[in-house]
Structure 1
Amino acid sequence: MKSRSPAVCQLRATPSHCKTKKKNKKTKMCGLWSLPEEVAMKCLAQVSRVDLAALAMASKAHRSLIVSPDFQLLRFQMGCLEPNLYVWLHVLPEPTPRWFILNPVHRRLRPIHLKSCKAPPESSSSFVLMSFGVFNIGGLVNGKPTSDVSFLDCSNHTWHSVTLMKMARASASAHSINRKIYVLGGCGDDADSSNWAEVFDLETETWEFLSVTIAPQYPTKRVDDTKE
């Protein structure tokens, strides 16, 4: 038997969404929550982000459901997540860059108040978009490259720590292919063919070095084609 979401169960028990008969004292559901849970969730998943934000203000139970990871995953799987523009921007005189999101109503950028116990690097990070979030890879901390990796969950604007890379990197090139993240370079003079690149597997959440061949750099010689 499929277990019910705690948030949905709480909503089903909310007096404002039901009608009580005095005779048999049984609770009668009305509206959306009179439908089977799976059907109700799929209907709610198709509501726009702006309307969901308004619905979340109705009660704590509504907000608990809307911000739950299971509900956000359902919206992602159904293709109901609206595209949003996120910007990593340094606005003076602020000491560090901040994340901004384009407000769909006012059509202007607004700062995001992120939940995190550890702030990501201030500069020279690499970013990779995966699912409904952004990976922040490497960067500079106190002027030195770091192996830190974090994930920004765009559904609730929360940072999550990810397994550290094997090499500290800054300004690396990073791309995602088939549920894997490839990170190339960014490790300075410590790089060689054995550690210049590494790959992160999202299924196992592990990093492995990727063996590559680095072409040697030959000194350039100026050629003067002018004949005397």
Structure 2
Amino acid sequence: MTSPTTTTPPSPEPPPSLIPNLPDDISIQCLARIPRDHHTTLTLVSKHWKSTIRSQHLFHTRSLLNITQHSLYLNIRHNTSFKWFHLHLPNSPFHKTLIQTLPSIPFQPVGPAYAVLGPNIYVLGGSVKDVPTNDVWVLDCRINEWVSGPKMRVGREFAASGVVGGKVYVMGGCLVDNRIKAVNWAEKYDPNVGVWSGVGSEGVECRDKWMHASAVLDGRVYAMADRGGVVYDVGEGEWGKVPKRLDLGWRGRAAVVNGVLYCYDYLGKIRGYDVEKDVWKELRGVEKGLPKFLCGAAMVDLGGRLCVVWERKDSGGKGVDVMCAVIEVGKDEDGGLSGEISWVDAILSVPVGSSILHCMAVAL
């Protein structure tokens, strides 16, 4: 009696090399050096190239090589519709801004908080049909696709947020009318764990107010209410009051560049706040190249430069131009702040009545 023969299934063939005659680790070094605005074209070469271009390995390699590029992401509202745009700003006046319209969040909330951590943009809470939600939407900027993230412990709208030490912090935007909200008035999210956890905030003032602005300075999350504000020192785990001078001078949306918080004042001029000296200083050198931002402007740190984005009616009066200025900022020998506009232009055309909800910069 003969025993039945068994056949071993053939092992799957390894994927072909990214670049013939080169080890894949060397090929990735080559691909990482290609500017990011060409990545979409590279994904068309093959499935192997597509998965590599979108991989964490490639972006980690770009970071190690110190060749990451900063792109702008805009969330713009028109009436009841919300649109997202991804923009590659030109490196010189001879190049054009590359614009990509992104898919929208399935249910765009009103008044969410925003945070950027690594390659991801987090949209935190907001209200849907006038009900605060604890939903979290995450935009993977490597592939520009939305996914639903881990829900916060409580629903909130018009909250403050910030990223410190690889964790997302969010605070406020909810009424402390029960124990769950009281314990979780402030929360943090660790992407390595994948869950939200409460941050103790007993005795903190402003817990009954909505937050209109936030920023991170020197490892501290600043949350601004209509009057007053709070600051959370992540390293020490301690809460404190926002300095009165900072509170009085902070108007609108701000950006922190090289340890200085920039915003515009009531005269429409850009000023910077020095947290160590507790003093506001006007940004000199940009008066002739920028309008007075009496109606507001969005600001963001674009790789160590101050990027300002605002709306302006187009020449025909039938639309709105989204304007953008990139400013090299620094401290003078006398301790003042000076800026030099390196680039300014219209980057996007949108319908009349559109407004910039938020502006973010992502390095990839």
Answering whether residue 204 of structure 2 is matched by residue 198 of structure 1, we say: no
1:142-221 to structure 2, matched below 5 A, reads 142-190=129-177, 193-212=182-201, 213-215=203-205
SS in 1 for 2:40: helix
Letter in structure 1 aligned against 2:16: Q
Alignment correspondent of 1:100: 85
Percent identity, please: 25
Match of 2:26 in 1: 39
Say which one has the larger Rg: 1
Per-residue CA distance 1:36-91 (angstroms, 9 max, x = gap) = 21111111111112333333334454334323444344434544331000000013
Taking a change above 3 Å as real, the CA distance of residues 33 and 186 of structure 1, as seen in their structure-2 partners, is: same
State the distance in 1 between where 2:24 and 2:99 align: 36
Higher strand share: 2
TM-superposition CA deviations, 1:112-133 (whole Å, max 9, x none): 136xxx6243321111010011
> Contact between 1:33 and 1:40, CA under 8 Å: does it hold in 2?
no
Q: Distance in 2 between matches of 1:203 and 1:166?
A: 18
Check 1:216–1:78 CA distance in 2 against 1; reply closer, same or farther (3 A cut): closer
Q: Which amino acid aligns with 1:9?
A: P
User: Which digits, 9 at most, give the CA deviation of each residue in 1:82-120, with x for residues without a partner?
Assistant: 10000000135xx32111112445326442136xxx624
The residue that corresponds to 1:90 in the other structure is 77
What SS does the aligned partner of 1:181 have? Answer: strand
Task: Work out the CA distance in 2 between the residues paired with 1:181 and 1:202.
Answer: 8
1:222 aligned partner:
none
Rounded to whole Å, the distance in 2 between the matches of 1:84 and 1:204 is 28
Partner of 1:129: 116
Count residues in correspondence: 187
1:112 is aligned to 2:131: no
Supply the distance in 2 between the matched residues of 1:73 and 1:183 (Cα, whole angstroms): 27
Q: Post-superposition shift, 1:149? A: 1.0
AA matched with 2:86:
I
Amino acid at match of 1:153: D
Provide closer, same or farther for how the CA distance between residues 182 and 65 of structure 1 changes in structure 2, counting only shifts above 3 A. closer
Give the secondary structure class of the aligned counterpart of 1:65: helix
State the TM-score, normalizing by the size of structure 1. 0.70
Provide structure 2 residue ranges, at least 5 long, that are not aligned to the other structure: 1-11, 90-94, 208-364
Q: RMSD between aligned alpha carbons? A: 2.8
CA–CA distance in structure 2, aligned partners of residues 182 and 53 of structure 1 = 32
Contact map agreement 2:85 2:100 (CA 8 A) in 1: yes
Query: Partners of 1:41 and 1:126 in 2: how far apart?
Result: 36
* Matched residue SS, 2:71: coil
Structure 1 residue 190: Cα displacement: 2.9
User: CA separation in 2, counterparts of 1:80 and 1:9?
Assistant: 28
Q: Does 1:55 align with 2:42?
A: yes
CA–CA distance in 1 between the matches of 2:41 and 2:185? Answer: 48
Q: Give the counterpart letter for 1:141 in structure 2.
A: V
Unaligned runs of 5+ in 1: 1-5, 13-31, 218-228
State the SS of the aligned residue for 1:198.
Answer: strand
Q: Which moved more, 1:50-59 or 1:136-145?
A: 50-59
Structure with greater proportional helix content: 1
Preserved contact between residue 96 and residue 122 of structure 1 (Cα < 8 Å): no
Q: Return the offset for 1:204.
A: 1.1
Give the aligned partner of residue 141 of structure 1: 128
**Which structure is higher in RCO with an 8 Å CA cutoff and minimum separation 6?**
2
Encode CA deviations 1:155-177: one digit per residue, 9 max, x unaligned: 10111222111111011001111
Aligned pairs for 1:10-29 within 5 A: 10-11=16-17
Q: Supply the distance in 1 between the matched residues of 2:206 and 2:156 (Cα, whole angstroms).
A: 21
TM-score calculated relative to the size of structure 2: 0.46
Q: Secondary structure of 1:34's partner?
A: coil
**Conservation of the 8 A alpha-carbon contact between 1:151 and 1:162:** yes
Letter in 2 for 1:203: N
Distance 1:142 1:173 in 2: 21
1:206 Cα deviation from its structure 2 partner: 1.7
